[in-house]
């Protein structure tokens, strides 16, 4: 399963046009099923699909823990037998009724206001009580560590990353995808499946902006500190403030903006 694809391009610069080969990120759909029922179809970069499925089901409230997962497997596609674009997750309790996600949390076109989205989350999530602290010098170093670990970004320049770090700045897990939210689902799903990462003692660093969907997913997982190299949204800041999450934006060089719960940054 390839996550990049070579293409022929004409490069235009101050010199004469050149015919060269370039690498672009592969974009393909994946269908996620739960006990055989379709719950989501999304565009993603192939790779770490089982982590993506587990993370998506978890952050959308369809499962509450790794213990609920029985098996995760690819399903054959009769029309495209060479593709592995259907993932089925079977629960231990295979007879449990599946309630499809409403998508009110992360779908910006759903027509609901921010208050309705926050109210929906309050029904399923608890405030984060983690007391971890992280030195600001550690945070300053995370973007470089994340960037250096992005093998696919070096080759394509067009892929996002999400990484989990311990309070000392040690990288615990990294996942890449062309979609910011997919990268987060992959890294949280990978942590969930591993069973060895204490998410309540981690920092999550993302390569794109800190939108509501990213903050919501981190909240479900209980991640106390979420940092981004770019800007947060107003709803992400409100969510972080209300639920005890430290939201950091514009983490570049030796500066950052702390939008909520700054007591964790020392």
Which active-site residues does the annotation give? 110
169-191: string of b/e by CB count within 10 Å (b at 16+)?
Answer: beebbbbbbbbbbbbbbbbbbbb
Q: For tokens 């060089």, what's the residue?
A: 253
What would the two tokens of residue 157 be? 């320049």
Please tell me the distance from the alpha carbon of residue 24 to that of residue 75, in angstroms, as a whole number: 26
- CB distance 204 to 164 below 8 Å: yes
Closest listed residue to residue 28, CA positions, set 87, 74, 85, 80: 85
Closest listed residue to residue 161, CA positions, set 144, 128, 136, 184: 184
């Amino acid at each position: 399963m390839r996550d990049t694809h070579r293409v022929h391009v004409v490069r235009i610069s101050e010199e004469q046009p050149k015919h060269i080969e370039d690498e672009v990120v592969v974009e393909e759909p994946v269908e996620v099923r739960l006990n055989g029922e379709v719950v989501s179809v999304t565009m993603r970069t192939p790779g770490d699909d089982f982590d993506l499925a587990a993370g998506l089901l978890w952050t959308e409230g369809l499962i509450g823990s790794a213990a609920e997962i029985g098996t995760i497997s690819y399903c054959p596609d009769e029309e495209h037998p060479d593709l592995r674009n259907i993932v089925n997750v079977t629960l231990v309790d295979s007879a449990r009724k599946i309630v499809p996600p409403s998508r009110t949390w992360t779908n910006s076109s759903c027509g609901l206001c921010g208050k309705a989205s926050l109210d929906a989350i309050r029904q399923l999530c608890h405030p984060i009580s983690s007391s971890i602290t992280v030195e600001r010098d550690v945070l300053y170093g995370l973007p470089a560590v994340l960037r250096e670990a992005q093998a696919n970004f070096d080759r394509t320049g067009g892929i996002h990353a999400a990484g989990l770090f311990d309070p000392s700045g040690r990288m615990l897990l990294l996942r890449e995808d062309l979609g910011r939210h997919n990268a987060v689902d992959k890294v949280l799903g990978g942590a969930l499946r591993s069973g060895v990462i204490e998410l309540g003692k981690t920092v999550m660093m993302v390569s794109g902006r800190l939108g509501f969907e990213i903050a919501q997913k981190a909240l479900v997982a209980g991640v106390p500190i979420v940092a981004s190299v770019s800007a947060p949204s107003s709803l992400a800041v409100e969510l972080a403030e209300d639920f005890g999450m430290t939201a950091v934006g514009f983490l570049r060089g030796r500066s950052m903006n702390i939008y909520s719960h700054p007591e964790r940054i020392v």
